[in-house]
């Protein structure tokens, strides 16, 4: 049975990002499942042959390394994990390239770290490279650079869900498909026969995030929390996301046909600009500026710039041009932007009207501490 909304989303998505997790790509012993890679490559090639662009975010380097080395269990030491990932990554990309070539496509390896998407120039370089690869009709295969990303390997579940969401935003792709070892998001414990699969989620709010947590321990169940956070990033920028079971042989094909597979997370509002996407999701703030309530309201509801008069304090060692978090005096971050002043100067001019900045600093290059054009409300 075809879902008309899903059919429209799939049909109108000119660029599609597909993320596949380690548990989908590996056998129960952790070694690489070559048959599943072949099935995935065939379905992605079908999308590409239809005139649409496809980007793959793939885990599995450690599993590929285990297969190459004949290991029967996942190494526990960080150095050994990184070594196994380095060995496995070459095998993984070779396998993708070999299977894609059977369908007239080529794979292109792209290894990224968080810093690549944090720095604005490197962010743009990554975007330009990916777009060029797509123009060559290649299928980029993106992975976290496991050999240098410490947090990625030491966690039970990697951060490729977030990486896939950031790549989706980077390319302004209308659809991200996350292939997991679960059918989607359930309204209760997936192991409870009374729990039902949620076919559609209209907003990733706190109630939805809570469905990924174990009520006894408060910990994430099965890596679902990272997928929901990825969904929040993607849908907040106006794009759609589907979480589905990648162990079924035709999942991607069924999704592209508009079949009610997995859980669909609908985009919120209009598509955000590339600049706002980078500010909101990819870059990491270098400090915080605490604001009074009037300034918070003016920015969040009034669409105004941040002026010195509304500032209570500057926290952190940041300089002009850095990205900073904007926070209420006792609340979490609600916006971020590029600051026109460094932290020491903001401490000197906080609470003052703009016409007094020159008197205090000896010059007034900007009336706004953060201009509205360089500011994004979260």
pLDDT of residue 153: 46
The residue count of the chain comes to 378
Residue with tokens 């003016």: 298
pLDDT of residue 147: 61
For residue 13, give both structure tokens.
């998505």
Query: Which of 233, 250, 276 lies at the terminal end of a domain, its last residue?
Result: 276
- Radius of gyration (Cα) for the chain, nearest Å? 23
Express each pLDDT in 44-84 by its tens digit.
999 999 999 999 999 888 888 888 888 888 888 878 888 88
For residue 300, give both structure tokens.
């969040």
Query: Which of 276, 296, 321 lies at the terminal end of a domain, its last residue?
Result: 276
270 and 296 fall within a common domain: no
- Residues 229-250, mean pLDDT to the nearest whole number: 94
For residue 220, give both structure tokens.
């994430």
Structurally, the chain folds into a number of domains equal to: 2
- Residues 357-364, mean pLDDT to the nearest whole number: 93
265 and 292 fall within a common domain: no
Q: Rounded CA gap, 299 and 104, in Å?
A: 51
Check pLDDT > 50 for residue 271: yes
Which is more confidently placed, 148 or 229?
A: 229
Query: Which of 276, 297, 323 lies at the terminal end of a domain, its last residue?
Result: 276
Cβ 266 vs Cβ 249: under 8 Å? no
Q: Rounded CA gap, 66 and 87, in Å?
A: 9
Which is more confidently placed, 279 or 242?
A: 242
Express each pLDDT in 309-352 by its tens digit.
999 999 999 999 999 999 998 878 999 999 999 999 999 999 99
For residue 336, give both structure tokens.
């971020």
Q: Where are the beta strands (DSSP E) in the chain?
A: 15-20, 53-58, 106-112, 138-144, 175-180, 200-201, 240-245, 263-265, 288-291, 306-307, 311-315, 323-328, 333-338, 368-370, 375-377
pLDDT of residue 189: 80
For residue 325, what is the domain's CATH number? 2.30.130.10
Residue with tokens 């907003």: 203
Q: Which domain holds residue 362?
A: 285-377
- Residues 123-133, mean pLDDT to the nearest whole number: 94
pLDDT of residue 73: 81
Q: How does DSSP assign 362-378, residue by residue?
A: S--S-SEEE-GGGEEE-
Please provide the average confidence, as pLDDT, over all residues in the chain.
Answer: 88
343 and 269 fall within a common domain: no
Cβ 33 vs Cβ 26: under 8 Å? yes
Using CA atoms, how far residue 256 sits from 77, 183, 242, 325, 355, in Å, is 40, 16, 11, 39, 58
């Amino acid at each position: 049975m075809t879902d008309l909304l899903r059919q429209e989303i799939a049909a109108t998505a000119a660029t599609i990002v597909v993320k596949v997790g380690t548990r989908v790509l590996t056998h129960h012993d952790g070694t690489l499942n070559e048959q599943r890679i072949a099935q995935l490559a065939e379905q992605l090639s079908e999308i590409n042959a239809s005139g649409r662009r496809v980007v793959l975010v793939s885990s599995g380097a450690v599993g590929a390394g285990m297969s190459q080395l004949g290991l029967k269990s996942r190494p526990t030491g960080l150095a050994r994990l990184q070594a196994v990932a380095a060995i496995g990554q070459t095998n993984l990309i070779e396998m993708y390239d070999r299977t894609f070539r059977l369908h007239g496509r080529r794979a292109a390896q792209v290894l990224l770290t968080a810093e690549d998407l944090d720095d604005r120039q490197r962010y743009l370089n990554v975007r330009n490279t990916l777009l060029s690869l797509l123009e060559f009709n290649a299928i980029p295969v993106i992975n976290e650079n496991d050999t240098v990303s410490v947090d990625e390997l030491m966690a039970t579940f990697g951060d490729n869900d977030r990486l896939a969401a950031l790549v989706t935003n980077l390319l302004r792709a209308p659809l991200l498909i996350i292939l997991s070892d679960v059918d989607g998001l359930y309204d209760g414990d997936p192991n409870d026969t009374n729990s039902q699969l949620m076919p559609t989620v209209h907003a990733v709010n706190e109630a939805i995030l809570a469905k990924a947590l174990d009520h006894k321990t408060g910990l994430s169940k099965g890596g679902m929390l990272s997928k929901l956070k990825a969904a929040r990033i993607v849908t907040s920028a106006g794009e759609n996301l589907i979480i589905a079971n990648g162990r079924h042989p035709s999942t991607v094909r069924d999704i592209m046909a508009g079949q009610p597979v997995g859980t669909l997370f609908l985009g919120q509002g209009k598509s955000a600009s590339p600049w706002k996407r980078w500010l909101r999701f990819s870059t990491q703030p270098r400090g915080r500026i605490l604001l009074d309530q009037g300034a918070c309201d003016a920015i969040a509801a009034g669409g105004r710039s941040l002026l010195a008069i509304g500032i209570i304090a500057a926290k952190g060692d940041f300089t002009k041009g850095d990205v900073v978090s904007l926070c209420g005096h006792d609340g979490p971050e609600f916006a971020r932007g590029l600051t026109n002043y460094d932290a020491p100067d903001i401490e000197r001019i906080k609470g003052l009207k703009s016409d007094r900045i020159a008197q205090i600093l000896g010059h007034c290059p900007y009336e706004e501490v953060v201009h509205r054009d360089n500011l994004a409300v979260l």
